[in-house]
Amino acid sequence: MRCTKCKGTASIELRRHHSAFCKPHYLEFFDRQVERAIRRHKMFAPDDHILVGVSGGKDSLTLWDYLLRNEYNCTGLHIHLGIGDYSDNSFDRTASFAREREASLITVDLAESYGMGVPELSNALRRVPCSGCGLSKRYILNKEAFDRGFDVVAMGHNLDDEAATLMGNVLHWEVGSLARQQPALPSNRDTLIKRVKPLYTMTEREVAANAILRGIDYVEEECPNSVGARSIVYKNALDDIEAKSPGTKHGFVSTFLDRIRPVMETSQEDFDLRECTICGQATTGEVCAFCRMWQQARAKKEKSSKTHG
């Protein structure tokens, strides 16, 4: 297998691009694709202060690495979720990455800051862990960005993530979620910070290849709570289709973004956003979903403690 560009020995084949690249030309290709996505969607300017959500996995560390190498003004934010060894290992990888690159890192411990880690939250609510985890991460990223004066929140979602989310939203006809699914979600209120996904055109395999070739040490194990998650089911289904028809994932997402989402966005009613009476963050109701969830969890935990006390 020869590199499409220099005809040397290729390190990776990209069937959806009908190409193969050696290490230097693959890394060049990867950076060019990410920069193209940033420019196309005007994700951020060189002088914007960017908060990067960093889990310790390949996607978020790859994104942070890219931004640091290209001298963007960025800071990492790691949320310790309290999921046993998995969270400890994730934090260790994140902290090590930051130290090696002398990068700024903010850490929020969910249990210390809010009273419970993800397992306790899940038990209190009697919901699957991913439900409370996802809401908590989105809320904390936005709140920390707002409180600390950041202009943009950047997340490491890749093409596989976006395609799986899109499939789930289509199968369940989540019209509101479909209208909001885009690589750069602008701020529509002072307390809602702009959110961007610079890796949205790169597959999970392509991001992993970049991380390995650049020597990025990341957590390889999947979150133990992801077993049986619908997103994994959707990813596996899309992988099967992609294997038979390379480029399907990209076509699915890009066609939606170019042709369908604009129509859905214009048909949506404007939401009357107000400040949450508890935390002050933007919400459509009196109390935001995050605060409602944590009020409910704390009340159930307290009731359980009294019952078993």
The pairs formed by 28-32 with CB atoms below 8 angstroms and a separation of 24 or more are: 30/202, 30/206, 30/209, 30/210, 31/66, 31/70
Q: pTM higher than 0.85 for the full model?
A: yes
pLDDT band at 179 (very low <50, low <70, confident <90, very high): confident
pLDDT tens-place string over residues 199-216: 999 999 999 999 999 999
Residue 18 pLDDT greater than 60, yes or no:
yes
Could you read off the pLDDT of 295-308 as tens digits, one per residue?
Answer: 999 998 888 777 76
C-beta separation of 90 from 137 below 8 A: no
Decide if pLDDT at 48 tops 70: yes
* Residue pLDDT, tens place only, 112-121: 999 999 999 9
Rounded to 10°, the helix 129-147/118-125 angle is 120
Residue pair 125/300 in contact (Cβ under 8 Å)? The answer is yes
Mean pLDDT of 235-263: 95
Average pLDDT over residues 101-106: 98
- Tens of pLDDT along 57-81? 999 999 999 999 999 999 999 999 9
CA distance 10 to 20: 6
Q: Do 156 and 59 form a contact (C-beta atoms < 8 A)?
A: yes
Task: Report the pLDDT value the prediction gives residue 268, as an integer from 0 to 100.
Answer: 53
User: Under CATH, what is the fold of the domain 30-273?
Assistant: Rossmann fold (3.40.50)
Residue ranges of domains in the chain: 30-273
